[in-house]
Each structure stands twice: as structure tokens, then as C-alpha cells.
Amino acid sequence: MRLEAKQIPGKVIIYTLLIAGVLLTVFPFYWMFVLATLSRREIFSFPPEMWFGEHGLTNYHNLMSYVPFLRNMWNSFYISAMSTITAIFFCSLGAFGFAMYDFRFKKPLFIIMISTLMIPPILTIIPWFIVMRWFGWINEPRALWLPGMANAFGIFLMKQYIESAVPRDFMDAGRIDGCSEFRIYRSVVLPVITPGLGALGMITFINQWNLFLPALVILRQRTAYTIPVALSSLEGMITTDYGAVMFGTALGTLPILIAFIFFSNKIISGLTAGALKF
């Protein structure tokens, strides 16, 4: 009892710090949704408004008059969904090969692939744009998801997860049962690595949803814009409608918040399990 009494002050301090950290993290999102319902005058008022206003519907109509925002949301969803689906398949398939097979030059090839993660993405913008223009994919959504179908980060993450979760005896058991190598991948490996696939899928979806610079470079028409590009196009006007901008930001953030709330456990468990073996 004395030991538990001594631990109470420490627990109080820890929980107080955790609660404070949660409030500091959540407040910017709350503030964003509040600003989405305020007029321009209320946004710049002092002291600032801390509760929801009555101009949310007005901000929505203004936003839709500036850009085709619902179409832009569909563009973001399409690009993010296609990137996620293709990355899950090709990255897990490549990781399956690196993790479960021994072949010539396996280690050098893996090192070369991992070394590409050290290249700053900004350096690849110009070569990527030249290639996309050569393909005739300017203003085409496919230019934003096709090149990243099999990326080094996804293959590395899934390789670590497969090595820690799938014993090689499963491969031998599948061959004894008459399975082909692809059938082993599909029926034996994929069901075991579902948490890792969920983590990779959420990371890929969020990154593509927030993609800005490549989309800004390749997309030219308002109907082809993604959410970040559409919101950036509202800046620089003579009088920026910050209420509409904040409403669009809140609307574009809401799907990601909902997805993260429901799938955060998958992300954490997948990243943790994938980090057990290096």
C-alpha cells in the first residue's frame, strides 16, 4: 500500500502531461473546423471566436463557386486509392521475393533499392516531369500514381514484416500441397501479413492525399486539381476568402481523420511488427 501511495504523484504527473499533449494535438483540428464556420471579419476578430459560427453554408457555397471542389476531392480519392491498391500489391510481391527467396545479387540489389530513399524527392521532380511529358501524361492523374506502384519504402517495410511473421516452413508446406509460387504468396503469405498491408495502405493513402508539389507541376486544369492544389489556387487573390479556404481544408482533412481513427491500430501494429527484425 505504501508503494502504491508513493506511485500516485508520478502517475498524476504522467497523466497530466499526456492529457496536455492530447489537447495540444487536437486543438489545431478543432480550431480549423471552427474557422470553417466563421466569416472573414470573425476570423480576424480579437479576441478570437472559440465556438462555431453561422457562416459554414456560406463558406461552402463560396468555395464551390471558386473551384469544382467535389470534383477535386474525387481526383484526390482516385489518385490515393489507385496508389494504395497498386503499392500494396507490388510492394508486398517484391518484398515476398526479397524475404523468402535466395538468389544471385540479392543483397546488392536490396542495398541499391534502399539507397534510393536517401535521394531527396525534390531532386527527382525535373526528370520525372520530363518523362511524364514524353509519355504525354501532362494533366493526367496516372502520372501521380503509376510511377510509385513499387516504391523502396513499401518494399522495405513489407520485407521486414514478412521476415518476422512468415516462417519459411510455410513455403515448404505450400509446395508439398502442390501450390505454385504465386499461390503461396496469395494464399499463405498475404493472410498472415494483413496488419502490415493495412499499415502500408494507410501510409500510402495519406501521403498521396496530401501530395502537393508533383500535383502542382503536372495538373493544369481546375477540373483535374487535387485538394491541395485546389486550395492553393485560392491564395493570391485580391481578397482571399479565408472562410472558404478553411472550409475546404476542413472538408479535405475530414476523410483522413476518420480513416486514421478507425485504422490507427493497424498502422501501429504493422509498423511495430515490421520493426522487430532488421
pLDDT of 86 reads 94
pLDDT of 91 reads 92
Whole-angstrom distance, CA of residue 247 vs CA of residue 58: 10
Q: Find the helix packing angle between 194-209 and 242-274, rounded to 10°.
A: 150
* Cβ atoms of residues 100 and 166 within 8 Å: yes
What DSSP string runs through 37-66?
TS-HHHHT-SSPP-S--S-HHHHHHHHHHH
- The candidate with the shortest Cα–Cα distance to 97, out of 48, 150, 140, is 150
pLDDT of 79 reads 93
The pTM (predicted TM-score) of the whole model is 0.82
Whole-angstrom distance, CA of residue 170 vs CA of residue 181: 12
* Structural domains of the chain sorted by starting position, each given as residue range(s) with its CATH number in brackets: 66-274 (1.10.3720.10)
- In the block, residue with C-alpha cell 495502405: 201
- The candidate with the shortest Cα–Cα distance to 69, out of 248, 270, 269, 253, is 248
pLDDT of 7 reads 67
Amino acid code (one letter) for 167: P
Buried b (16+ CB within 10 A) or exposed e, 201-239: bbbbbbbbbbbeebbebbbeeeebbbbbbbbeebeeeee
pLDDT of 174 reads 79
Per-residue pLDDT 10s for the chain (278 aa) are 454 556 667 778 888 888 888 888 888 888 888 888 887 777 777 787 788 878 888 888 888 888 888 899 999 999 999 999 999 999 999 999 898 888 888 899 999 999 988 888 888 888 999 999 999 898 888 999 988 888 899 999 899 888 888 887 878 787 888 878 888 888 888 888 888 888 888 889 988 998 888 999 999 888 889 999 988 888 765 466 778 888 888 888 888 888 777 766 666 665 555 444 43
